[in-house]
């Protein structure tokens, strides 16, 4: 739903340790959703539905960034949302980009300096699959 948090992902340098930890604590299982230039994107599954993503930030692009959880807000139009955010004082981290078969993403820092992602599902896609908070 437009304007609501819809997805969270863990950015970490030790994906295997994170997977073991969350499997032990919450019973999460995992699937590799897709691979990018930075590596595979792991989706955590609970009760048959996706609940979070896990992404390896070991590469030089993420140097100096500590492991952390990152949240996304759903939008009907990521370009319009990014433009409105910039007008309101946000700073884009990079150009809006598409993840094939998933949707389009805008990464920003809000006026307080907090990082946030805006997410527009693809025409035939949900936020993160059936059952997630974007529908």
Q: Considering just the CA atoms, what is the radius of gyration of the chain in Å?
A: 15
Could you tell me the pLDDT band of residue 131, with boundaries at 50, 70 and 90?
A: very low
Rounded distance between C-alpha atoms, residue 88 and residue 20, angstroms? 40
> How far apart are the two ends of the chain, measured CA to CA in Å?
6
Environment class of 21 (CB within 10 Å of its CB; exposed 0-12, middle 13-18, buried 19+): middle
Does any domain span residue 135? no
Position 134 pLDDT exceeds 70: no
Q: What is the number of structural domains in the chain?
A: 1
CATH of the domain at 41: 3.10.180.10
Domain presence at residue 79:
yes
pLDDT digits (tens, 9 = 90+) for 24-78: 999 999 999 877 767 789 999 999 999 999 999 998 888 999 999 999 999 999 9
Q: Is residue 131 part of a domain?
A: no
**Mean of the per-residue pLDDT values for the chain?**
90
129 — pLDDT class (breaks 50, 70, 90): very low
3-state secondary structure of 47: coil
- Is residue 74 within 8 Å of residue 58, measured between CB atoms? no
User: Does a structural domain hold residue 134?
Assistant: no
């Amino acid at each position: 739903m437009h304007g609501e948090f819809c997805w969270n992902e863990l950015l970490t340098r030790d994906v295997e340790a994170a997977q073991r930890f969350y499997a032990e604590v919450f019973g999460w299982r995992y699937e590799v959703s897709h691979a990018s230039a930075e590596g595979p994107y792991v989706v955590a599954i609970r009760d048959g539905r996706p609940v979070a993503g896990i992404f390896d930030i070991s590469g030089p692009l993420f140097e100096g960034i500590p492991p952390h959880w990152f949240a996304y807000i759903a939008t009907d139009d990521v370009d319009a949302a990014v433009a409105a955010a910039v007008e309101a004082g946000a700073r884009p981290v990079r150009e809006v980009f598409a993840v094939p078969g998933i949707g389009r993403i805008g990464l920003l820092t809000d006026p307080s300096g907090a990082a946030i992602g805006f997410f527009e599902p693809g025409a035939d896609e949900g936020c993160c699959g059936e059952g997630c908070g974007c529908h």
